[in-house]
């Protein structure tokens, strides 16, 4: 029974598989319940904060984070230490924002930390605040996570009552507090500058960059934006110190969460080191459902992998899987073009409309894919699709526009035969033209 969810009037989380072969980020989160502050402390929680505040300088922690090779888990994989070093060049007051907008299709890893082990994130934010010289932190959580919002508010109050948040934390001269802000259901508000605009009470439109948030962020002040999973790594790094560099492959140390959905036997969130391959990850999730044949993987909405890619590592190397680690698995009964249509619909719906190539291009690519599904597409449509896919990123100012055609580009390269078959009136999976 989940006493905290019951107290907050929340239904239980749906049952999904949450498994780990290293027990770091998911150490306390494998059971389907929220870990309260007593349990968190009794299992070693907040000892990293005590170590950080009482035995380490901000520079000690920063050097450790740089050496840890930690990369942002929000998608871009930017080195966290480098970002933090950058903000120190700019004057106080500085702000910390946790990006909990998690809106990409198939992505539900941050939700598991928020709803099951919220103090891991809170502890990570306090240590980060201390390191970057920020006294105020914000969590921007997607509007469709009402339970996560309530749980975070509850856990932040617990942390305040125990003296981990507020003035003079643990008797030191460091003060830090966290506010939670709810988004209103727009994917674009996960883009860090749109998020900042939204947090300031404005329409969630991305800003032109540079300047980047560590120079000019919330209310024009230097700001660090980090993902939930990135920040949750910080207590682990501080606890393990240099031993953290024994976890996983060189250059990509530490744990990674992989949300897996689609045609696998056991969909859920899996934790592993990043030397695991895509094939091994699918096996970890029980393999392809019903013993059917593998077809493809969508890495969220941002790319497509085929049979030849199954042995790539799930790391941030140029050939690695990278991104958020989101893995949506398709089997032989799925049509890749039908699946692309879902992604194209998503981008058309979520484009904020600020840049014409993104606003119009996402609409056009959706319409062409609809024609492929209906069986009315011509070779001219295929050429036009290629043209649009090439040009949307050129005229776009943010990551949504850069990535909107990426799954199409990958599919054109890796599954070109499927487009050809549809032009000839055949859907290999027997899904389209109905
Ligand atoms: C359209 C769009 C949506 C995004 N959504 C998220 C999100 O939900 N969560 C997130 O952490 N990062 C998201 N990002 C990436 C953020 O802009 C930013 O890079 C990230 O929060 C930085 O944190 P990290 O360095 O810890 O990864 C998104 C980017 C784009 C372009
Ligand atoms: S690229 Fe698309 S989502 Fe990004 S600012 Fe331009 S129109 Fe908006």
Best of 397, 404, 405 for a ligand 2 pocket test (most atoms within 8 Å of beta carbon): 397
Residue 251 lies in a domain: no
Contact 375, 432 (CB under 8 A): yes
Query: Does residue 13 carry a pLDDT above 80?
Result: no
Residue 349 lies in a domain: yes
Give the distance (Å) from ligand 2 centre to CA of residue 208. Answer: 10
Arithmetic mean of pLDDT, 254-265? 98
**Residue closest to 313 by CA, chosen among 358, 355, 273, 284:** 273
- The domain tally of the chain equals 3
Question: CB under 8 Å to 18, separation ≥6 — which residues?
Answer: 26, 29, 30, 32, 112, 116, 268, 269, 270
Q: Are residues 319 and 213 in the same domain?
A: no
Give the distance (Å) from ligand 1 centre to CA of residue 372. Answer: 32
**Cα separations in angstroms, 284 against 259, 260, 270, 274, 303:** 12, 10, 8, 13, 21
pLDDT in tens, 65-76: 999 999 999 999
3-state DSSP assignment of residue 46: coil
> Whole-model pTM?
0.97
CATH number of 83's domain = 3.40.50.11540
Strand intervals (E) in 183-301: 223-227, 255-262, 268-273, 294-298
pLDDT for 326: 98
Percentage of the chain exceeding pLDDT 90 = 97
Q: How far apart are CA 281 and CA 267, in angstroms?
A: 11
Domain end point (choices 331, 359, 384): 331
Show the tokens assigned to 177: 């507090």
Give the distance (Å) from ligand 1 centre to CA of residue 135. Answer: 22
350 lines ligand 1 (CB under 6 A): no
Strand intervals (E) in 93-170: 94-100, 134-141
Q: Are residues 93 and 211 in the same domain?
A: yes
Least confident range from 13-17, 149-153, 396-400: namely: 13-17
Q: How far apart are CA 230 and CA 226, in angstroms?
A: 6
Q: Are residues 405 and 307 in the same domain?
A: no
Arithmetic mean of pLDDT, 176-187? 97
Query: Does residue 384 carry a pLDDT above 80?
Result: yes
CATH number of 364's domain = 1.20.1440.230
Q: Are residues 149 and 109 in the same domain?
A: yes
Q: Are residues 135 and 212 in the same domain?
A: yes
**Cα separations in angstroms, 190 against 70, 162, 230:** 20, 31, 15
Where is 342: in which H helix or E strand? helix 336-350
Give the distance (Å) from ligand 2 centre to CA of residue 39. Answer: 43
Q: How far apart are CA 100 and CA 152, in angstroms?
A: 11
Residue 54 lies in a domain: yes
Q: Are residues 103 and 57 in the same domain?
A: yes
* 242 strand-pairing partners: none
Contact 69, 252 (CB under 8 A): yes
Residue 13 lies in a domain: yes
Residue 430 lies in a domain: no
Best of 347, 350, 355 for a ligand 2 pocket test (most atoms within 8 Å of beta carbon): 355
3-state DSSP assignment of residue 277: strand
pLDDT for 15: 85
Residue 355 lies in a domain: yes
Q: Are residues 266 and 346 in the same domain?
A: no
Domain end point (choices 246, 276, 309): 246
pLDDT for 225: 98
Best of 65, 76, 194 for a ligand 1 pocket test (most atoms within 8 Å of beta carbon): 76
**Residue closest to 227 by CA, chosen among 140, 301, 153:** 140
Show the tokens assigned to 204: 């969630």
Cis status of the peptide bond prior to 137, with omega within 30 of 0: no
Confidence bin at 180 (pLDDT 50/70/90):
very high
pLDDT for 12: 81
Contact 192, 225 (CB under 8 A): yes
pLDDT for 189: 98
CA-only gyration radius of the chain, Å: 22
99 lines ligand 1 (CB under 6 A): yes
Q: Which residue range forms the structural domain that includes residue 276?
A: 257-331
Residue 187 lies in a domain: yes
Domain end point (choices 215, 246, 277): 246
Q: Are residues 149 and 75 in the same domain?
A: yes
pLDDT in tens, 309-342: 999 999 999 999 999 999 999 999 999 999 999 9
Give the distance (Å) from ligand 1 centre to CA of residue 199. Answer: 15
pLDDT for 14: 77
pLDDT in tens, 196-249: 999 999 999 999 999 999 999 999 999 999 999 999 999 999 999 999 999 999
Q: Are residues 280 and 348 in the same domain?
A: no
Percentage of the chain exceeding pLDDT 70 = 100
247 lines ligand 1 (CB under 6 A): no
Looking at the CA of residue 191, tell me the nearest atom of ligand 2: 4
Confidence bin at 1 (pLDDT 50/70/90):
low
Q: Are residues 325 and 341 in the same domain?
A: no
Residue 431 lies in a domain: no
Q: Are residues 111 and 219 in the same domain?
A: yes
pLDDT in tens, 99-119: 999 999 999 999 999 999 999
CATH number of 282's domain = 3.10.20.600
Q: Are residues 277 and 354 in the same domain?
A: no
27-36 burial code (b ≥16 CB/10 A, e <16): bbbbebbbbb
**Residue closest to 91 by CA, chosen among 203, 202, 185, 215:** 215
Q: Among all chains, which residue has been given the structure tokens 């380490």?
A: 56
pLDDT for 190: 98
Cis status of the peptide bond prior to 272, with omega within 30 of 0: no
3-state DSSP assignment of residue 415: coil
Query: Does residue 290 carry a pLDDT above 90?
Result: yes
Where is 18: in which H helix or E strand? strand 17-20
Q: How far apart are CA 292 and CA 302, in angstroms?
A: 25
198 lines ligand 1 (CB under 6 A): no
> Which ligand approaches the C-alpha of residue 203 most closely?
2
């Amino acid at each position: 029974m989940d006493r905290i969810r019951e107290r907050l009037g929340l239904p239980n989380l749906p049952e999904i598989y949450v498994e780990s072969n290293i027990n770091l980020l998911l150490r306390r989160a494998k059971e389907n319940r929220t870990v309260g502050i007593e349990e968190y402390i009794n299992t070693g929680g907040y000892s990293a904060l005590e170590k950080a505040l009482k035995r380490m300088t901000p520079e000690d922690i920063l050097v450790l984070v740089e050496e840890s090779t930690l990369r942002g888990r929000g998608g871009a994989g930017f080195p966290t230490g480098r970002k933090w070093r950058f903000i120190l060049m700019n004057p106080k007051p500085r702000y910390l924002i946790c990006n909990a907008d998690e809106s990409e299709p198939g992505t539900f890893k941050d939700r598991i930390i928020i709803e099951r082990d919220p103090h891991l994130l809170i502890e990570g934010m306090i240590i980060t605040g201390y390191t970057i010289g920020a006294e105020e932190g914000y969590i921007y959580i997607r509007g469709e996570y009402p339970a996560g919002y309530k749980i975070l508010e509850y856990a932040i109050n617990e942390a305040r009552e125990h003296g981990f948040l507020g003035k003079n934390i643990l008797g030191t001269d460091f003060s830090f507090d966290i506010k939670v802000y709810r988004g209103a259901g727009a994917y674009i508000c996960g883009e860090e500058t749109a998020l900042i605009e939204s947090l300031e009470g404005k329409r969630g439109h991305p800003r032109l960059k540079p300047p980047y948030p560590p120079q000019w962020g919330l209310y024009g002040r230097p700001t660090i934006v980090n993902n939930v999973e990135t920040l949750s790594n910080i207590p682990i790094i501080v606890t393990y110190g240099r031993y953290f560099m024994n976890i996983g492959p060189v250059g990509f140390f530490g744990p990674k969460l992989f949300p897996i959905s689609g045609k696998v036997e056991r969909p859920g969130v899996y934790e592993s080191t990043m030397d695991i391959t895509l094939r091994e990850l699918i096996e970890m999730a029980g393999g392809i459902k019903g013993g059917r044949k593998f077809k493809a993987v969508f890495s969220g909405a941002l790319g497509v992998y085929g049979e030849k890619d199954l042995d790539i590592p799930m790391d941030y190397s140029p050939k690695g899987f990278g991104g958020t680690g989101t893995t949506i698995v398709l089997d032989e009964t799925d049509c890749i073009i039908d699946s692309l249509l879902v992604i194209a619909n998503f981008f058309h719906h979520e484009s904020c409309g600020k840049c014409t190539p993104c606003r119009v291009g996402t609409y056009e690519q959706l319409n062409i894919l609809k024609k492929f599904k209906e069986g009315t597409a011509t070779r001219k449509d295929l050429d036009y699709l290629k043209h649009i896919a090439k040009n949307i990123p050129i005229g776009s100012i943010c990551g949504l526009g850069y990535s909107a055609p990426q799954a199409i580009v990958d599919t054109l390269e890796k599954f070109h035969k499927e487009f050809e078959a549809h032009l000839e009136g055949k859907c290999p999976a027997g899904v389209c033209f109905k």
